[in-house]
Amino acid sequence: MGAKPTVLVAEKLGEAGLEVLKGFANVDCSYNLTQEELCTKISLCDALIVRSGTKVSREVFESSGGRLRVVGRAGHGCLVVNAPTANTVAAAEHGIALLTAMARNIAQADASLKAGKWLRSKYVGVSLVGKTLAVMGFGKVGSEVARRAKGLGMHVIAHDPYASADRARAIGVDLVSFDEAISTAEFISLHMPLTPSTSKILNDEAFAKMKTGARIINVARGGVIDEDALVRALDSGKVAQAALDVFTEEPPAPGNKLVLHERVTVTPHLGASTMEAQVPKGELSSTAVNAPMVPAEVLSELAPYVILAEKLGRLAVQLVSYATARAPDDLDTRLLRAMITKGLIEPISSVFINLVNADFTAKQRGVRIAEERILLDGSPENPLDYIQVQIAHVESKFASAMSDSGEITVEGRVGSFQVDVSLEGSIILCRQVDQPGMIGRVGASSASRMIAPRKHAVMAIGVDEEPHPEALKKIGEIPAIEEFCEKL
């Protein structure tokens, strides 16, 4: 990079973070750029730092003309500063602040007193002690909220299909089903990522299952709530109050009914906004910048296996076997292990996995990946013949794929290979009654074009883009489809 690199800081960072950058780079702090302005500026920058408000689209990368080397996402694992937990406590504390403020009408009472009123009986609150809090999403933020709520004397339950019961038990929290969580809690706090399966997870149907007078807290992502349904639930009295830090559209449009609602407490996405969460911390950067990097020649040799490793990881892994004719010291598998972790964790989490933070994140989530080599005879010219991953004791989205002992084994090769399904693009797996016309019916339900359909009792369809949730719902509704798995 010649002399000093130029770093574009596109969203507000703490002063201490900026000082660190200024020590070695020309720092351009330009906030609130339009996509067009960002695309123009980016061609003059070596690095870009963003927070949640900036989308670094394909267009931005293309406009960089090859100069951009690093994109740093403050608050997540990234190559500049690896701070995967830096805003966890800040977000958890904000969740608790919203919970307590909502229960005691702090924001409303404050506004009314400032307007010259003294309304002691209007703002009678509700107590927290002994009440049940359902933590929806028991990840980094959710578990910290649970810990703090227990300190307030609340009974805490959690719903998270991917969390370990042991980790929950250690905090004194019971993991329960979605329905049990939302139907038994007086307070429901959302802490899951926004994914196709969590989008609008609190909808009319979910609100109907809640106790009358339930209270909702959201410091996760606005899109996990169907906001129109929440307005209806508030107006009907089903939901007594809500406290929201995040919105489907940010900033919300003027006149947004939730923002203006008397029984809703709102903050403008302040979850991560504490002084402490913005300050770079020495102990965390050691997990990042000092992490061993994979040399360029290893990267290029393993490139074809990288996508395969990620796809295989999406099935969750306990044992990875690399079948190779190479000697152990001639095959560096760290990149592949990182991609398997990425495939495993990213679809269910808000964490962005890369080579730097993969092992750290896997360990943090209690995922242990054992590796072994299957030594093959033959030419060591190709680094790998195949990769096999094996998982045990899990609930599979696609139970037909499991052996009697509850294990799933998947194997993949790169190049001209014999596999039942090519792990490229998105794949829909369906177990069906074997009858004519099924591929057509499933195809008609999918908005994407099909590539290389196969017809078996188990059908795998490669589609050229991630299937739309509506399309998947329609597939699930076809009577002959007994079971299907949305994606690999």
Ligand X SMILES: O=C(O)[C@H](O)COP(=O)(O)O
Residues annotated as catalytic (active site), given as ranges: 221, 250, 269
- Residue 153 phi/psi, 5° resolution? 85, 15
Whose structure tokens read 């990079």? 1
Could you give the angle at which helices 88-103 and 140-151 cross, rounded to 10 degrees? Answer: 50
- Least distance to ligand X, CB of residue 153, Å: 28
Q: Which is nearer to ligand NAD, 267 or 426 (CB)?
A: 267
CA distance 53 to 34: 11
| Cα gap 160→163, rounded to integer Å | 5
Interface with ligand X includes 191 (CB under 6 A)? Answer: no
Q: Among ligand X, ligand NAD, none, what does residue 220 contact (CB within 5–8 Å per kind)? A: ligand NAD
- Work out the number of other CB atoms within 10 angstroms of the CB of residue 301: 16
Could you write out the DSSP letters of every residue in 319-365? EEEEEESS-GGG---HHHHHHHHHHHHGGGSSPPP-TTTHHHHHHHT
Residue 74 interface partner, choices ligand NAD, ligand X, none, CB cut-off 5-8 Å depending on type? ligand X
In which residue are the tokens 């939901």 written?
239
Q: Using CB under 6 A, which residues numbered 64 to 93 contact ligand X? A: 74-75, 87
The stretch near ligand X (CB under 6 A) out of 45-53, 287-295, 297-305, 353-361 is 45-53
User: Could you give the CA distance from residue 134 to residue 216 in angstroms, rounded to a whole number?
Assistant: 10
Nearest to 271 by CA among 75, 50, 30, 103: 75
Q: Which stretch binds ligand NAD (CB under 6 A): 53-61, 161-169, 289-297, 443-451?
A: 161-169
Q: Does 46 bind ligand NAD (CB under 6 A)?
A: no
Q: Is 357 in the site for ligand NAD (CB under 6 A)?
A: no
Q: Is the peptide bond before 251 cis (omega within 30 degrees of 0)?
A: yes
Is residue 51 near ligand X by the rule CB under 6 A?
yes
In angstroms, give the least distance from the CB of 95 to ligand NAD: 8
Q: Which of 25, 146, 225, 272 binds ligand X (CB under 6 A)?
A: 272
What length does the chain have?
488
What residues have CB less than 8 Å from 363, skipping those under 6 apart?
Answer: none
The verdict on 383 binding ligand NAD (CB under 6 A) reads no
Question: Which of these segments, 48-56, 116-124, 441-449, 453-461, binds ligand X (CB under 6 A)?
Answer: 48-56
Residue among 51 and 413 whose Cβ is closer to ligand X:
51
Q: Does 248 engage in binding with ligand X (CB under 6 A)?
A: no
- 244 SS3 class: strand
Residues 177-196 that bind ligand NAD (CB under 6 A): 191-194
Among ligand X, ligand NAD, none, what does residue 162 contact (CB within 5–8 Å per kind)?
ligand NAD
Task: Give backbone dihedrals phi and psi of 290, rounded to 5 degrees, phi first.
Answer: -90, 0
CB of 277 to ligand X, least distance (A): 8
Binding part of the chain for ligand X, among 14-22, 117-125, 268-276, 387-395 by CB under 6 A, reads 268-276
Helices (H), 117-226: 140-151, 165-171, 178-184, 204-209
349 binds ligand X (CB under 6 A): no
Token pair for residue 126? 């509700």
Quote the distance between the C-alpha of residue 283 and its chain's center. Answer: 24
- One-letter amino acid of 50: V
Q: Of the ranges 23-31, 85-93, 296-304, 452-460, which one interacts with ligand NAD (CB under 6 A)?
A: 85-93
- Residues 139-158 interacting with ligand NAD (rule: CB under 6 A): 139-142
**Interaction of residue 53 with ligand X, rule CB under 6 A:** yes
As given in the structure block, the two tokens for residue 437 are 């016309």
CB of 297 vs ligand X, minimal distance in Å:
35
For ligand X, the closer CB: 175 or 266? 266
52 scored as a contact of ligand X (CB under 6 A)? yes
CB atoms within 10 A of CB 106: 16
H or E element in which residue 16 lies: helix 15-22
The pattern of x and - marking residues 219 through 258 that bind ligand NAD according to CB under 6 A reads: xxx-----------------------xx------------
Q: How far is the CB of 56 from ligand NAD (least distance, A)?
A: 16
Task: List the 370-375 sheet strands across, edge first.
Answer: 370-375, 319-324, 386-391, 408-412
Contacting positions for ligand X (CB under 6 A): 51-53, 74-75, 87, 269, 271-273
Binding site for ligand NAD (CB under 6 A): 87-88, 91, 136-142, 159-163, 191-194, 197-198, 219-221, 245-246, 269, 271-272, 348-351
